[in-house]
Amino acid sequence: MTEPRPDAPAEERPRPSRRTLILILAPIIVLITIGTVGNAIHPALLKRHPMWLVAMEPRTRYLLLVANRGVAFVPYVIVAVIRKLASDPLFFLLGFLYGDNAVKWVEQRFDNNSGIVRRIERLFRRAAPVMVFFFPGPLVCVLAGATGMRIRTFAFFNVVGTFVAVVFYYRLAESIKGPLDAINNFYSRYFKWLLVLSIGLTLYWLWDQRRKGKLLSLSEAEEALEGDQPAS
């Protein structure tokens, strides 16, 4: 049997089984959960286990602060690149397998009513490879899959762009050492209070997400992607 092309129309793409969907969604939920925990306890991780912070939640500000703490270049790049790339192929697969349903689901899950989602979609239509290179977040990766970007094209721009970004953050931390030193010293001095505050804010955010119906769950994602009910 001929394998379906990545750029095949949506109606020609295979309908995945429920098991396949779970195998894609479960790691996404695990990675998001790990990131949420890492963000909640980031003051303690930054002070005592900076590389664990990179492995759990490689946000730009954390990458800069960790780089400023004198971690070795090679382990930093390896851990940061692998962690940042971990979910991208999964979101690409969701877009490829579920098309518009995946796009709508990611829009609803990750939009904060700022209008940025629509801007990303407009930019993606004009310069898809550039967006994958510079901004490989969930929406861009889903759009790449849903619009039929070839796997090798996506992989090249995704991997190279992520590597370049991580190296850039490490070098940037060297050039803005003064401000980052001040922030790291503040974290080191008050990390216990900042830890309590960060955990409290995270718990409040989780409560607010649940109240708004945006708390990520396997059953909700499955229903939205399968199209059994509108993604709302």
Tell me the pLDDT tens digit for each residue of 44-84: 999 999 999 999 999 999 999 999 999 999 999 999 999 99
Confidence of residue 166 (pLDDT cuts 50, 70, 90): very high
pTM: 0.85
Mean pLDDT of the chain: 87
- Of 159, 8, 166, residue with least CA distance to 96: 8
How does DSSP classify residue 174?
A: H
Q: Please state, in angstroms and rounded to a whole number, the distance separating the CA atoms of residues 62 and 194.
A: 15
d(CA 121, CA 138): 12
Cα–Cα distance between 84 and 98 in angstroms, integer?
23
50, 69 contact by CB (below 8 A)? yes
Q: What is the predicted pLDDT for the residue at 14?
A: 62
Percent of the chain with pLDDT over 70: 88
Integer Cα distance of 163 and 39 in angstroms? 22
Q: What is the mean pLDDT of residues 214-220?
A: 76
Per residue in 100-148, pLDDT (tens digit) is: 888 888 887 766 555 677 778 888 888 899 999 999 989 999 999 999 9
* Mean pLDDT confidence for 214-224: 76
Q: Is residue 46 a contact partner of residue 191, using CB atoms and an 8 Å limit?
A: yes
- Position 8 pLDDT exceeds 60: no
How many whole angstroms separate alpha carbon 187 and alpha carbon 43?
6
- Which is nearest to 186 in space by CA: 39, 1, 46? 46
Burial of 61 (0-12, 13-18, 19+ CB in 10 A): exposed
Query: Helix or strand or coil: residue 212?
Result: coil
When comparing pLDDT for 99 and 6, which is higher?
A: 99
| Cα–Cα distance, 188 to 163 (Å, whole number) | 29
The answer, yes or no, to whether residue 12 has pLDDT greater than 70, is no
Q: What is the Cα–Cα distance from 172 to 190, expressed in whole angstroms?
A: 25
pLDDT at 17 over 60: yes
Q: Token digits for 192?
A: 């216990």
H-state helical runs in the chain: 18-40, 42-48, 50-56, 60-67, 73-85, 88-110, 116-126, 128-134, 138-146, 151-175, 177-211, 218-226
pLDDT at site 41: 96
